[in-house]
Structure 1
């Protein structure tokens, strides 16, 4: 597998390394040892599948609070999606910044989503199907979300939203909430004193 760190430290795209012959191709899509070698949590306790009938369908942006915080390995197995993650780590220099990655059945790319990241995606095609391996079980009391159209996040979704759950459409805007961790200020740096 080929791991490439995104602009958000700890979040990686994972491409397969194809071995082709007259039968087609073979590739590994997951190996705990390779994930561990890149400092990533390889634990999978649940695998989810979502089917999206219409292009423009939007799911997210979801995350779970500790102790049910989760990592995800997301892959589109049919059609195409734009997968978006938002850094919610208060100590991170990329706090509240996002990365968008196109995952398609053709490119076979996956996105590794670390703990303390919100995750969502928009179906770019009718019939888009997505699988994700998750490191923690779904825990309803720990689930939270960010609003997909929050101007403070500035996410540019490529298509008009055709379908979204009422829950996802109703997450409060960042300006109206006080439940998110606030960024941790960097420690002051000592100024050089001329003598």
Structure 2
């Protein structure tokens, strides 16, 4: 049973609408600017990176986009990963299972997909905490494109602050993600 370590209060939803990095509509341009390891959060983002010829180090998906089931070709493309971890993560939360999956997938030398039963929308925040400096997190910005987050101490602190403002156990989150 997954333990919820962070829950997004309704009053914070607008705080997460500001992109953490530059928004791209061209996957090739995004990939040219991104550095490894790359963690992709979202089915459509993962699909676009795969279609552009790049398999992210970690993909975190839930089989949905904008709360609707994704198309069959998107699901088929995501099935091509070597490793797979299934986790439960309810809507508007971050669970210990999700965090452990991110850490395990980043440590795996093979590209790994984390398949979420629930919702992966907040996964970009702990992914930024888990990815080493110089790596990249990519997530979807509805109706705009893909956000590239080059990981550095500044963006990591911004994510730490956002998680800390949620109903969360930030110390436990960081301890799960620490190598």
Q: Normalising to structure 2: TM-score of the pair?
A: 0.36
Q: Which has the higher strand share?
A: 1
Larger Rg: 1
Q: Which has the higher helix share?
A: 2
Higher relative contact order (CA 8 A, sep 6+): 2
